[in-house]
């Protein structure tokens, strides 16, 4: 979060023809990876840090139900 708003970091990335990812891009990547949740935080300011741990605990204690692939059986 904090690096995305840091002009120095943005300029450094721009020199490499890159830019910080948006929250939407992060969410799409999480979906593609089939992650349980996408959560942003800042280790520097600790913004959202508690939420990361809360969501990790929920994911560990209540894992999502995965769909089982049914095989076709002929008798």
Instruction: Tell me the domain boundaries of the chain.
Output: 7-61
Please determine, for residue 9, whether its predicted confidence score (pLDDT) is greater than 80.
yes
Query: What are the percentages of helix, strand and coil residues in the chain, rounded to 5?
Result: 45, 0, 55
pLDDT in tens, 38-60: 999 998 899 999 999 999 999 99
Please state the pTM of the whole predicted model: 0.73
Within 10 Å of residue 36's Cβ, how many Cβ atoms?
A: 15
Which of these, 48, 40, 38, lies nearest to 20 by C-alpha position?
40
Please determine, for residue 67, whether its predicted confidence score (pLDDT) is greater than 90.
no
Please determine, for residue 72, whether its predicted confidence score (pLDDT) is greater than 80.
no
Please determine, for residue 1, whether its predicted confidence score (pLDDT) is greater than 90.
no
Please determine, for residue 33, whether its predicted confidence score (pLDDT) is greater than 90.
yes
Long-range CB pairs of 33-37 (<8 Å, 24+ gap) are: 36/63, 36/64
Q: What integer pLDDT is reported at residue 68 of this predicted model?
A: 72
Query: Tokens 């990361």 belong to which residue?
Result: 52
């Amino acid at each position: 979060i904090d690096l995305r708003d840091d002009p120095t970091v943005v300029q450094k990335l721009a020199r490499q023809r890159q830019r910080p990812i948006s929250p939407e891009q992060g969410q799409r990547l999480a979906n593609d990876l089939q992650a349980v949740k996408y959560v942003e935080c800042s280790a520097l300011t600790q913004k959202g840090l508690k939420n990361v741990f809360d969501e990790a605990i929920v994911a560990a204690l209540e894992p999502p139900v995965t769909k089982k692939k049914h095989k076709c059986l002929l008798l």
